[in-house]
Chains A and B, each alone.
Chain A
């Protein structure tokens, strides 16, 4: 069974500083990997996804993530954080079993941005 670990529950960064959110996964085959963002009281918005190919993936809002198979990681990065990036971020791994598609989420990292 797949699993996802987000080791940082809460991170605080200053506006304009760089950001890296960690995500480690466990899955036997090549995983489908996702990052979602959730603003307070809102649903989940897809930031980016990795299925195959180039291991550096670009997403919306200036975010990128790098898939490192040797480290079982899929860390999310942004070179310069904006105050509007304050939200909760979820890493997820997807796996197929027949027609079923199961998405397993990490417990999330809450990002606080100070001005």
Chain B
């Protein structure tokens, strides 16, 4: 099992540009989620999905969009990037009550 994979590892965007952060898992987990990590703030939940076709908002969803067309993939979209979205983004999938994290995507918005 590759576990949870994320691409790209690092990305630089200009303000207003759009991009998609990719997340995939090969463990057949129904539950997946996206977090952002900022210094001194721990990880905060952006969006989550309890299965294909079902998504919901976390605590910091503004500026982000998600969809879940398959069990394996859970992409995170930034429609118009802002400097406030500079962060490290982690995708996770869950089995039972335990979440497993991907390696992260470091995003810099200029």
User: Could you list which residues of chain A lie within 8 angstroms of chain B, going by C-beta atoms?
Assistant: 4, 9, 32, 34, 36, 42-46, 49, 51, 90, 92, 94, 96, 99-103, 105-108
The answer to whether B103 touches A43, judged by C-beta atoms less than 8 angstroms apart, is yes
B70 on the A face (CB < 8 A): no
State which of A32, A34, A43 has its C-beta within 8 Å of the C-beta of B90. A43
Which B residues touch A102, using CB under 8 A? 45, 48, 58
| Dominant SS among interface residues on chain B | strand
Q: Which residue of A lies closest to B102 (CB)?
A: A43
Q: How far is the CB of B40 from chain A (nearest CB, A)?
A: 6
Which A residues touch B26, using CB under 8 A? none
Bound Cα distance from A49 to B43, whole angstroms: 17
Give the A-B pair count, Cβ closer than 8 A: 52
User: Could you list which residues of chain B lie within 8 angstroms of chain A, going by C-beta atoms?
Assistant: 31, 33, 40-45, 48, 50, 56, 58, 90, 92, 94, 97-104
Q: Which residue of B lies closest to A32 (CB)?
A: B97
Contact status of A94 and B103, CB under 8 A, knowing A100-B50, A105-B42, A108-B42: no
| Dominant SS among interface residues on chain A | strand
Which A residues touch B104, using CB under 8 A? 42-43
Bound Cα distance from A101 to B29, whole angstroms: 13
State which of B40, B45, B102, B103 has its C-beta within 8 Å of the C-beta of A103. B45
Q: How far is the CB of B18 from chain A (nearest CB, A)?
A: 25
The answer to whether B50 touches A43, judged by C-beta atoms less than 8 angstroms apart, is no
Contact status of A106 and B42, CB under 8 A, knowing A43-B101, A46-B98, A94-B97: yes
The answer to whether B43 touches A105, judged by C-beta atoms less than 8 angstroms apart, is yes
The answer to whether B97 touches A107, judged by C-beta atoms less than 8 angstroms apart, is no
The answer to whether B31 touches A44, judged by C-beta atoms less than 8 angstroms apart, is no
Sample of 8 further A-B pairs with CB below 8 A, known A34-B98, A102-B48, A107-B41: A32-B97, A43-B90, A43-B102, A44-B43, A46-B100, A103-B45, A103-B99, A106-B42
